[in-house]
Structure 1
Amino acid sequence: MFDVKKYEGTKEKDYALLLKQLEALLDGETDEIANLSNASALLGQFLADVNWVGFYLWKQDELVLGPFQGLPACVRIKSGKGVCGTAVKEGKTQRIADVHQFPGHIACDAASNSEIVIPLFKEGNVYGVLDIDSPSKDRFDEIDQTYLEKFATILQAHL
């Protein structure tokens, strides 16, 4: 459980509250799709200046579109392709300031200019990714990455 009081900065306090809200939403719920759906809705409501937030799930050696908030999206992404596939292949967060400079970027929404993708794991295996796009360049900073990775860690415990 995260203690909101120990965070000094406004952004950190907001994220700490978000993590508490996520824990409350997930408490006692075992359905993965319900948990992913609520998690994407919570992030969509919390994050300013984003145009897509959701999940891709690892199925039969590719990422397949899961619960999300935003415009229709690419349905399947191979490992190593685009920002999402790179996050899976490398097993680490990809924080991209300008997606148009990312080799092999997959443009599902032409309005997206920056992106953060956090890989999700279940029992040590790739489960999928949390993908968030913004119409602004350089939208995501180190604080966003830190807390979105904490968000993913909490969520992974309920998958």
Structure 2
Amino acid sequence: MTSKAELYDDVRKQIVAVVTGETSHTARYATASCLLRETFGDRYFWTGFYVVDPAKKTELVVGPYQGTMGCLRIPFGKGVCGVAAATGETQLVEDVHAFPGHIACDSRSNSEIVVPVFDSKGELAAVLDVDSTEFGAFDTEDQAGLEAICRDLLTV
């Protein structure tokens, strides 16, 4: 049986192979969303990116994703995605209902992990948001795997 760490390493390699040389961030985000959802299936209820709005540097706008309807815009500092954007740090949340200021784009989400994505200049470009219907669905192994993917996403 393949371990979770091996799955993350494999999907990271697949993403890198497909996006290397691609100049469109949208294409890179769409590829990552698709391959992550294909790899982790129903465990990933919602998988996608919120991109820093270039006109409003303190707001995220929904980007490519797999899953149910996402929120269209999220201000920095609001909800799990906004906190990840404001702090530049991964947010690993076992119970989103207990997270102060949680934004419920879909009430079926119960846990969430949000990872910042930085461009080649080290500036925040987006956040990767993964939701699950299960409580406590994500752990430090998920965090390490997703952080590795996000480190590579805009720099290869």
Q: Do both share a fold (TM > 0.5)?
A: yes
- How far does residue 28 in structure 1 lie from its aligned partner after superposition? 2.5
Of 40, 46, 51, the match for 1:52: 46
Say if 2:124 is the partner of 1:126.
yes
The residue type paired with residue 74 of structure 1 is C
Q: Does 1:16 align with 2:14?
A: no
- Counterpart position of 1:141: 139
Aligned partners of 1:58 and 1:98: how far apart in 2?
Answer: 25
Aligned residue type for 2:10? L
The alignment status of 1:86 with 2:80, answered yes or no, reads: no
Aligned partner of 1:133: which letter?
Answer: D
Shift of 1:112: 0.1
Aligned CA-pair RMSD: 1.2
Partner of 1:30: 23
Provide, for residues 86-142 of structure 1, a one-character-per-residue CA deviation record: whole Å limited to 9, x for no partner: 001111000000000000000001110000000111212211100000000000011
- Aligned partner of 1:155 in structure 2 is 153
Large movers: runs of 4+ above 4 Å: none
Out of 66, 71, 74, the position equivalent to 2:71 is: 74
CA deviation vs aligned residue, 1:38-80 (integer Å, no higher than 9, x gap) = 1110111112412100000011120000000011111000010
Normalised to the residue count of structure 1, the TM-score between the two structures is 0.90
- Distance in 2 between the 1:11 and 1:119 partners? 21
TM-score, normalised to structure 2, is: 0.92
Cα pair 2:25 2:154 within 8 Å, conserved: no
Number of the residue aligned with 1:5 = none
Among 59, 63, 72, the alignment partner of 2:60 is 63
Query: Aligned partners of 2:37, 2:4: CA distance in 1, in Å?
Result: 16
Identity %: 46
1:40 has 2:38 as partner: no
Residues paired across the two proteins, number: 150
Deviation at 1:11, TM superposition (A): 1.8
The aligned counterpart of 1:3 is none
